Amino acid sequence: MSGQRFSAGDHVAMREYWNGRLWWANPEIVVEDSEELVALFTRPGAVGKAAAWTHYDEALAMISSGTWELRDRVFHSNRRLSLARPGEAYAVSAFWRDADEHFLGWYVDIIDPLRRSSVGFDFRDLELDIVIADDLSSWQWKDQEALDARVRHGLHTAAEAEAIRRAGEEVVRLIESGGAWWLNWRNWSADLPVPVLPAGWDLA
């Protein structure tokens, strides 16, 4: 990712685009922005923006048509630290209960690699996810059916879906081979405020 780096403590926007339109934006605080890693933090109370839909087929129809409206979206329940290595097709989230900072576990999103913007980082969620136990002792796939639905709606080709699954399998191999580089972040803690969207969060 080329472009100017952000400093620890900066408030930035993590944004998802579909068909050139903003689909989702969440405020984050930069923990690290280096050649090796982008680490971003958010917590309950953070107010972002997201397309408004009530069921998944409706969301897919919106993306297919390129028609939707953004509404406020309040992050809730748990603190999250998102960890992504530049150029890689996945991001790992660590979750802590907000009330007492009890560590809950890991969640992997298969994504298009992060792209740097003037206000933060852009990406596209490729739907397939992996839920991982706090000690990496077990894992399970999530949203495989949602990925199949995207193929049926023409949002991914069959070949693209297969590449997404291969990216997920690479993460599984890391977990099972002891190569989970993110494990050291389990004990991370910082007294950071609720992040807010920066000025210009909605500009391309």
The pLDDT tens digits for 31-42 are 999 999 999 999
d(CA 150, CA 164): 12
CATH number of 11-187: 2.40.380.10
Q: State the pLDDT at residue 4.
A: 84
Looking up tokens 């639905």 gives 149
Task: Say if residue 136 is exposed, middle or buried (CB neighbours under 10 Å; 0-12, 13-18, 19+).
Answer: middle
Q: Does residue 8 surpass a pLDDT of 90?
A: yes
Q: What angle do CA 59, 62, 66 make, to 5 degrees?
A: 145
Q: State the pLDDT at residue 2.
A: 59
Q: State the pLDDT at residue 50.
A: 97
The pLDDT tens digits for 73-119 are 999 989 999 999 999 999 999 999 999 999 999 999 999 999 999 99
Domain boundaries, the chain: 11-187
Residues near 73 by beta carbon (within 8 Å), at least 6 away in sequence: 24, 26, 47, 48, 49, 50
Q: State the pLDDT at residue 97.
A: 95
Give me the residues paired with residue 115 across strands.
Answer: 122
Q: State the pLDDT at residue 1.
A: 62
The pLDDT tens digits for 136-157 are 999 999 999 999 999 999 999 9
